[in-house]
Structure 1
Amino acid sequence: MNKKKLGLTSKIFIGMILGILFGLLLSKVPSGYLKDTILLGGILKILGSGFITAIKMLVVPLVFISLVCGASAMSDIKKLGRIGVKTLGFYLCTTALAVTIALIIAKVVNPGVGIDMSNIVTSDPTIGEKQSLVDIILAMIPSNPIASLASGEMLQIIVFAILTGVAISIIGEKGQPVKALFESFNEVCMKMVSIVMLIAPYGVFALISNTFATIGFSAMWSLAKYMFVVLFALLIQGTVVYSGLLKLFSGLKLKPFYKKYAKVAAVTFSTSSSNASLPVTIEAMEEIGVHNSVASFTLPLGATINMDGTAIMQGAACIFISQIYGIDLGISQLLTIVLTATLASIGTAGVPGVGMITLSMVLTSVGLPLEGIGIIMGIDRILDMCRTTINVMGDCACTLVVSKQENELDLDKYYSEKELAK
């Protein structure tokens, strides 16, 4: 009988649990050559720092290439006109709103207050000087895109990537060879992500061990508060925000939507993938009365660029990591997080785990230590399942709003006989 192999998620979770136990055990060991040099300064540092460095290696090429591919695939916007503008506007606004909600809740809850990891930062994190909104917007335009890529200036990379993708789309047939090349590069990048993630369980074990060996059990309470912030923000986004937008822009009753979405949620929650659930999502929206011409455009586009749940995680994680490292974020840095997380959602692939890569981009944009990723990575799978469900719910809400406004929604299908009888 063949034994079932453990999946990556299970291995990461096991690595987290073993890291907690080993770290707590190590915290009771007196300082000495074995603990400080061999374990903390040697084996654990190589595994943990090596994993973080491998993530850093992928950030710039992954974000740039993914964004070029996403932007170059938006040629349908010209054909669909108003639908394209409304869809893009809805997605970008809800993503910006999502990360703002997460930042507000995190600032109220203060999930990282109570533990201090500033003494184990491997490098001095730098926060940019206070900038006005005008300066932030102007700083997004790269004067030298090659230098921006080399130095990891993420907002500038995002702008240049989108411009490149749009230009490829506009020139049409002549741009197809370049588009195909970037799509091939994108496949290579995604495979590299998969390869790096193979060492994630060992990296998480080392980072978590180091954390608990240094600060002990107090990290558990902060992790619990971080999870609460993310889940509460996701709940607000999925109920208050989407319900309000559906009512405001379509006037539809909410019960049929949430009842039908339960079928989609079962797939998104189990797969943690917007792309994997796409066939079920399109089928559910057509069953509820959305015309195929709308659903076949808004839902695939949403699976590519609409990542409200991921943006919530990134906002909460930035506050959490800044607090555990004792770094104050000003208004300009918070605004940079909103802008970066919103724009990063365009380049976030709809597959499990890539949110951690784009989180490193958001952290880099405000100078926060990437080592903080290792602390939250062990519990991220649970949150990933929840935020993917919210990501796709936003796609469906947008699809209903657009189809209703464009008279492409069959109200007889939307309201079942039972609903109409009420």
Structure 2
Amino acid sequence: MPVKASIRQVPFAARILLAMVLGIGLGLGARAIGSPVDAPNALLVALDTIGGTFVQLLKLLVPPLIFTAIVTSIAGLGELRNAARLATQTLVWFAITALIAVLVGVAVGTIVLHGGEAAALAARSHAAVDAGWLDFLKGIVPTNIFGLAVSARADGGGIATSVSVGTLQIVALSFAIGLAAHRVGAAAAPFVGFVAALYAIVRRLLGWVIALTPLGTIGLLGTAVARYGWDTLSQLGAFAGAVYLGLAIVLLGIYPLLLIANGIRPAAFFRAAWPAIQLGFVSRSSIGTLPVTELAAEKLGIARSYAAFAVPLGATTKMDGCAAIYPAIAAIFVAQFYHVPLGAADYLLIAFVSVIGSAATAGVTGAVVMLTLTLSTLGLPLEGVGLLLAIDPILDMGRTAVNVAGQILVPLIVARREGLLDDDAAAPAISFPQHETAIPETL
């Protein structure tokens, strides 16, 4: 049997799991060889190149995916019954799951953390990252039609420029164009047809890139292990343990309970969502994982017209890991570290910021913006941001995995409750009988 055919017989999730094991092994090997920042060894360079190229390919296709998916979805909302109710239900469930996640974070942080674990780091100074609500609000407004931003910085005697994609700006622009096309009606049909065709082409390109996921996993995870190592966690062990405990409770406890309450089989959910969750773990980017997340949603039977609307929205605003669990635990840790007492009003503020502010993370790698918002709202020292950056890459892997799971969970719950699950293939396999749904349909 040809090697290519043999590989295809191995389940995709199993290939990713095998790639993770291989990536860890190669990362440990690169770390053993020695990988200083100024002169990385050849193995680390190879791993970094492979992983970076894979993420670059994904991010290359993310802007056209978001634009074409949202425009075609909004333009075709008239084909969905109760479109306004559908959008409202999506946002409500975003808020419900975010509130539950932040409550878990507060509970875990209060019970597990006892302060003082990072006393050895007290002498270290880091520059706090300045971010706030105005930065977030200004970031929504597109600066140009392509949502591109150019930045310059000093680099060794010269000036290095870089171009970044404003994902939240693309989302806002796509919503506006899609809504306008929907209101124009028949006159916009040629444009909508062109965008729909482009959407189909982008999805085919994404399929080719996604086939490279195991290779990208080896590079991404191997690079993370080689650069940071598992021993980095020992500096902030209790905090890291609390964060991963909170993430595990939400991912493996709360989410299954919500699925069961809505008549959905958790095993079927995780079987379809696991490739996206795994990719989120190694890539540390909800936006980079978006193509796989959307495919997982459709595999679960969510109507494509709704998935194309809800999943990109979730990838930019639904961050249970980065914007709910993590800032809650981090705020408690920073308060204890700097001996600042927290009262009941402070815990309510943590919940409030987490529920309404998750869009500030905008699907990018890291949760520094959300953490800064939380600390500044509570009046806690912003130096605490720098204190936690030492192990942020390792924590970010788990946070993003939970983010991605939540971005599939909410559209699935809403689709189940609104009758938008396809009846031919996936839906019967994932759903309990309708009468077993525990939550009333009139939420």
Normalising to structure 1: TM-score of the pair?
Answer: 0.58
Q: Give the aligned residue type for 1:345.
A: S
Matched, 1:84 2:97: no
Q: Tell whether the 8 Å contact from 1:291 to 1:410 is kept in structure 2 after alignment.
A: yes
CA distance in 2, matches of 1:194, 1:98: 40
Q: Equivalent residue for 1:180?
A: 142
Q: Equivalent residue for 2:106?
A: 103
Q: Equivalent residue for 1:38?
A: none
CA distance in 2, matches of 1:241, 1:193: 44
Q: Tell whether the 8 Å contact from 1:99 to 1:341 is kept in structure 2 after alignment.
A: yes
- State the identity %: 29
Q: Equivalent residue for 1:231?
A: 244
Q: Tell whether the 8 Å contact from 2:316 to 2:362 is kept in structure 1 after alignment.
A: yes
Q: Equivalent residue for 2:304?
A: 292
Matched, 1:352 2:352: no
CA distance in 1, matches of 2:122, 2:399: 32
RMSD over equivalenced CA pairs, Å: 4.0
Judging changes above 3 Å, is the alpha-carbon distance between structure 1 residues 417 and 304 closer, same or farther for their aligned structure 2 residues? closer
Matched, 1:406 2:418: yes
Q: Give the aligned residue type for 1:252.
A: I
* CA deviations over 1:374-409 (Å, ceiling 9, x no partner): 222121111111111111111111111111122111
Q: Give the aligned residue type for 2:238.
A: K
CA distance in 1, matches of 2:154, 2:350: 26
Q: Tell whether the 8 Å contact from 1:121 to 1:369 is kept in structure 2 after alignment.
A: no
Q: Give the aligned residue type for 1:284.
A: A
1:238 CA drift (Å) = 0.9
Judging changes above 3 Å, is the alpha-carbon distance between structure 1 residues 384 and 418 closer, same or farther for their aligned structure 2 residues? closer
The aligned runs of 1:104-123 (5 Å cut-off) are 104-114=107-117
Q: For this pair of structures, how many residues does the alignment match? A: 285
CA distance in 2, matches of 1:390, 1:253: 18
Matched, 1:320 2:282: no
Judging changes above 3 Å, is the alpha-carbon distance between structure 1 residues 230 and 118 closer, same or farther for their aligned structure 2 residues? closer
Q: Tell whether the 8 Å contact from 1:111 to 1:222 is kept in structure 2 after alignment.
A: no
Matched, 1:304 2:296: no
Q: Give the aligned residue type for 1:246.
A: L
Normalising to structure 2: TM-score of the pair?
Answer: 0.56
Q: Equivalent residue for 1:281?
A: 293
Q: Which has the higher contact order (CA 8 A, sep 6+)?
A: 1
The aligned runs of 1:137-286 (5 Å cut-off) are 154=133, 157=134, 161=137, 179-181=141-143, 187-188=148-149, 191=151, 223-249=236-262, 251-286=263-298
1:221 CA drift (Å) = 6.0
CA distance in 2, matches of 1:244, 1:194: 51
CA distance in 2, matches of 1:368, 1:121: 18
Secondary structure of residue in 1 paired with 2:258: helix
1:191 CA drift (Å) = 5.0
Q: Give the aligned residue type for 2:308.
A: S
Q: Give the aligned residue type for 1:343.
A: I
1:111 CA drift (Å) = 4.5
Matched, 1:332 2:332: no
CA distance in 1, matches of 2:349, 2:376: 11
Q: 1:365 aligns with which of 370, 377, 384?
A: 377
Q: Tell whether the 8 Å contact from 2:233 to 2:240 is kept in structure 1 after alignment.
A: no
Secondary structure of residue in 1 paired with 2:341: coil
CA distance in 1, matches of 2:96, 2:394: 26
